[in-house]
Amino acid sequence: MYISTSRLGGHMKMLVQPTIEGHEILDCPSFSFLVKHPSGRKILFDLGTRKDWENFPPTILKIFKEHQLTAKVEKNVSEILEEHGFAVSEGAIEAVIFSHWHYDHIGDMSTFPSSTALVVGPGFKEAFVPGYPARPDGLLRQSDYEGRELREVSFDTKTHPRIGGCLAVDFFGDGSFYLLDAPGHAIGHLCALARTSIGGDGEQDTFIFMGGDACHHAGEFRPTEYLPLPTQIQLHSSAHWPKGICPGAIMQQLHHKKSACEPFYDMAEGFALNRGEAEQTIRNLEAFDAAENVFVVIAHDQTLLDIGMSTFPKGVSDWKKKGYAEDGRWAFLEDFSVAASKITPV
């Protein structure tokens, strides 16, 4: 289940390059993912942004100001869950998993009881413990982890399998939910792969790939050689083309490499912790995205809301039946409609 708790704003040039006219600002949600195991166990992958974001450590508030970031948060994830009958305060959530430490993913862990474990990626403890205020320049608050189990996932090339190129940890031990090593964007960055159905009668099992901040916009991993630009693209927001059908060739002309099989965006220089690792993580994500039985969801994908994807308390395990992956695949091109409308067909 996808819980949209907050909206964020920032300049695209901070995240990606090149800048495309009409899409200079990223206005997006920040998703939290509720995962329910058949046994009844419940975990959360990410928490979005905390409601009282003004109480972030001073170092984070300084970043907000310097980069002109905005955040609008109506409720914490814990509040939303409680309102829908989940006894969060009584330990209904077994664990919260941070895809990484950034403010728009860690929410407010202090709203969960001490019985709820915090699961983090490699290097987290060394980098962020102790937190603020014990460490005045800390990037996380001590209340984010104190008084509960802080479990750091480790990946071993000798003992852990690879799934889609990523080292994987079987969280529940039954193949239903995997944590994936997805380094590059930030210290300890994780993705996740949840099995949403078991195939039968010739059907494949289906999965949802939770991408965290492996990418911030679908234009960072589409199109590819696996999924080239289609010949026609429906742009609902533009009246420039008859019936809103934009020729794929127009979008290809807009592409900075004039390519129909490479992503529109590259990472902005200096944005990733390790650019080489981040680029490999994106390549791995592209392979998942090309699989018909995998639905790739990144944490800030507005297009999923635009196409009407179910959000909490409704589930999305039936994503394939409802066509969410297919409907949302090229919806990001709506963001380029202003620039595309100014291109003269060759």
Residue 103 has pLDDT above 90, yes or no: yes
Please name the residue ranges forming H helices in the chain. 58-66, 77-83, 103-106, 124-128, 248-254, 275-290, 302-306, 319-322, 324-328, 337-340
Residue 236 has pLDDT above 90, yes or no: no
Residue 152 has pLDDT above 70, yes or no: yes
Instruction: Give the pLDDT mean for 237-265.
Output: 88
Q: pTM above 0.75?
A: yes
* Contact yes or no for 190/174 (Cβ under 8 A): no
Check residue 55 and give its pLDDT: 94
Check residue 244 and give its pLDDT: 77
What percentage of the chain carries pLDDT values higher than 90?
Answer: 87
Instruction: Give the pLDDT mean for 279-286.
Output: 98
Q: Counting beta carbons within 10 angstroms of the beta carbon of residue 59, is it exposed (0 to 12), middle (13 to 18) or buried (19 or more)?
A: middle
DSSP states of 247-271 = EHHHHHHHSTT--SSS-S-EEPTTT
Helix, strand or coil, per DSSP, at residue 63: helix
Instruction: Give the pLDDT mean for 150-163.
Output: 95
The predicted-structure confidence for 46-55, as pLDDT tens digits, reads as follows 999 999 999 9
**DSSP code at position 32:** E
Helix, strand or coil, per DSSP, at residue 317: coil
Q: Residue 217 carries which side chain, given as an amino acid letter?
A: H
**Domain spans of the chain?**
5-338
The pair of three-digit structure tokens given for residue 266, joined into one six-digit string: 């590259």
Q: How far is residue 2 from each of residues 69, 137, 210, 232, 261, measured CA to CA in Å?
A: 23, 33, 10, 30, 30
Residue 188 has pLDDT above 90, yes or no: yes
Check residue 237 and give its pLDDT: 66
* Contact yes or no for 324/304 (Cβ under 8 A): yes
Selection from 216, 194, 191 nearest residue 205 by Cα: 194
Question: Which residues touch 112 (CB under 8 Å, ≥6 apart)?
Answer: 78, 88, 93, 96, 148
Instruction: Give the pLDDT mean for 58-71.
Output: 92
Please name the residue ranges forming H helices in 40-123. 58-66, 77-83, 103-106
The pair of three-digit structure tokens given for residue 234, joined into one six-digit string: 């429906």
Instruction: Give the pLDDT mean for 15-37.
Output: 95
Check residue 238 and give its pLDDT: 64
* Contact yes or no for 344/26 (Cβ under 8 A): no
Check residue 172 and give its pLDDT: 98
Residue 105 has pLDDT above 90, yes or no: yes
146, 85, 46, 333: CA torsion to nearest 10: -160
Instruction: Give the pLDDT mean for 86-96.
Output: 98
* Contact yes or no for 90/27 (Cβ under 8 A): no
Alpha carbons 194 and 228: distance in angstroms, whole number: 26
Selection from 275, 269, 336 nearest residue 15 by Cα: 269
Residue 239 has pLDDT above 70, yes or no: no
Mean pLDDT of the chain: 94
Alpha carbons 53 and 73: distance in angstroms, whole number: 8
Residue 231 has pLDDT above 90, yes or no: yes
Check residue 200 and give its pLDDT: 77
- Residue 219 has φ and ψ, to the nearest 5°, of -70, -5
Residue 96 has pLDDT above 90, yes or no: yes
Angle in degrees, CA 155, 49, 60, rounded to 5: 85
Question: Which residues touch 10 (CB under 8 Å, ≥6 apart)?
Answer: 25, 26, 67, 68, 69, 70
Q: How far is residue 46 from each of residues 31, 95, 105, measured CA to CA in Å?
A: 7, 10, 5
Selection from 9, 3, 109, 19 nearest residue 56 by Cα: 109
Residue 346 has pLDDT above 70, yes or no: no
- Between 157 and 219, the more confident residue is 219
